[in-house]
Amino acid sequence: MSSQTLREARRYEEATGQMIAPEERPAFHLSTRVGWTNDPNGFSYYKGKYHMFYQYHPYAPYWGPMHWGHAVSKDLLHWEYLPAALAPDSPYDRDGCFSGSAVELPDGRQLLMYTGVLSTPQPDGTMREMQTQCLATGDGIDYEKYSGNPVLDAGDLPEGSSKYDFRDPKVWKKEDGTYRCVIGSRPADGSGQILLYSSPDGFQWKFEKVLVENKNRYGLMWECPDFFALDGKQVLLVSPQDMLPEGFEYHNGNGTLCLIGTYDEKTDTFTEEYNQSIDYGIDFYAPQTVLTPDGRRVMIGWMQNWDTCSIHTQNRGVKWFGQMSLPRELSIKNGRLYQKPLRELDDLRRNKISYEDVVFTDTIRLDGIEGRRVDLEIELSAGEEELYKKFAVRFAQNEQYHTAVSFRPAERILKVDRKFSGSRRAVIHQRRCEVNSENGKLKLRLILDRFSVEIFVNDGEKVVSATMFTGQEAKGISFFASGRVKMNVVKYDLTGE
Ligand code: FRU
């Protein structure tokens, strides 16, 4: 039975979503149907389709009482909106249905596990949001909240952990048919930890152990965990809040962290071996993964940064805010996380144009290379003589605007810069990272989709993502060298339907 709150959201999104013209949104990245989205939720494969739910405030292009929006896709690139799945309409989630995940039950229903938020008065008269874990079951369109909600509350926390920071369950089914989930939590030291819970049936949940402790190493609270096996290793993805920078690896603010290690299933022991950022750009957070029917681990994140949302939401006339990243195929090589654009993206490629051994020493343009929905492969080497000082590719460019990726081979520093993308806000517009390069060699693959760029470095060794809201008429692409650069370029339009 759907509530008045859910029915209203469904009516509203149906009426207003269609007022956003297709060219006002990204073409092959999922964006909110209307209003606001943040984290991807419940990323799953169910009844022959990929399902993506998302943190959703349909009524305005900024964060508000969280609903779950819903979309499905056959290829993760073309999305069809379905009616909103959850609304904050119950005594335990009146103030929000926060992030969570999805799994299929043996009887064919889909189980959603999410965080219910309830504002509760404190002894000093202030209000604080208590967080519990809740369930809903459904058929892929309509979901009913479980009568036993909440299934995990303050009583299920290890001693000293906060009942106000207990969120974002990621559930999976084990081979023996039982369930596990990982949940973000804040222990007494004020930082973050990831808790592991188990269930025989998906409905009765029990605390197992603290899986990983942050101990104030990387930011404070750890949000949105995901935990899975990959290429003989075990991977934990988390999104820490309130990070301090560390070299070129971690930046201030909300970040993404990938812990790679081993997992002993018998004792539920995760042993960390290595950690890194997941994305080195400006806009990426709270990713979730799905296992595809053909065995690929595919990740999608919120392509945004909590600290820079003002760039867009303060533009007049904005009807939507928030888009997801490209689906990225994950693998582990030499102990590091690699990401490649989902291979089906190649099916959208049209109008190939390529240039080989272009040698240049200042700014050049190449005939036929422009556009805002573009797949651009660039291979750099030094000219025959000495190492060049700097290379840059500028895009979303006209006389007034451009966004740029630049590279200095001596320092091996890659930088994305959207200072001149049209933003009027004094927030972060640049980010740098360190990449592998010898003698000026570098491989870049840039994917542009109207309002974003994702840069895959050296076949997925690092990824740098950034949004840009420059008018679509700025579609020039140019290349710049200080010193002598030799370059191969292949460009496709990503317009295939
Ligand atoms: C992360 C997050 C989650 C929470 C959700 C609320 O971006 O803060 O921890 O569930 O957003 O919308």
Identity of the amino acid at 469: F
Specify whether 75 is catalytic.
no
pLDDT in tens, 454-466: 999 999 999 999 9
Residue 143 alpha carbon to ligand 1 centre in Å:
21
pLDDT number for residue 2: 80
Inter-CA distances, 430 with 34, 395, 409, 427, 492, Å: 28, 15, 18, 9, 26
Whether the pLDDT of residue 45 is over 90: the answer is yes
Residue owning tokens 């002993």? 264
Domain locations along the chain: 4-341, 350-494
- Please give the number of the atom of ligand 1 that sits closest to the Cα of 115: 10
pLDDT number for residue 385: 74
pLDDT in tens, 223-240: 999 999 999 999 999 999
CB-based pocket (< 6 A), ligand 1: 38-39, 55, 66, 98-99, 115, 167-168, 223-224, 285-286
- Which residues of 342-449 form beta strands (DSSP E)? 349-360, 373-382, 390-397, 403-408, 413-417, 430-434, 442-449
Q: Is 8 helix (H, G, I), strand (E, B) or coil?
A: helix
> Best substitution site from 36, 37, 39 to test ligand 1's pocket, by max atoms within 8 Å of Cβ?
39
Nearest to 113 by CA among 82, 89, 74, 148: 148
Nearest residue (by CA) to ligand 1, atom 9, is: 223
Q: What pTM does this model have?
A: 0.98
When pLDDT is cut at 50, 70 and 90, the band that residue 317 belongs to is confident
Whether the pLDDT of residue 97 is over 80: the answer is yes
Q: Which CATH number applies to 350-494?
A: 2.60.120.560
User: What b/e sequence results for 106-130 when a residue is b if at least 16 CB atoms lie within 10 Å of its CB, and e otherwise?
Assistant: eeebbbbbbbbbbeeeeeeeeeebb
**How many Å apart are CA 138 and CA 162, to the nearest integer?**
31
Encoded tokens for 385: 């003589």
pLDDT number for residue 247: 96
Look at domain 4-341 and name its CATH class. mainly beta
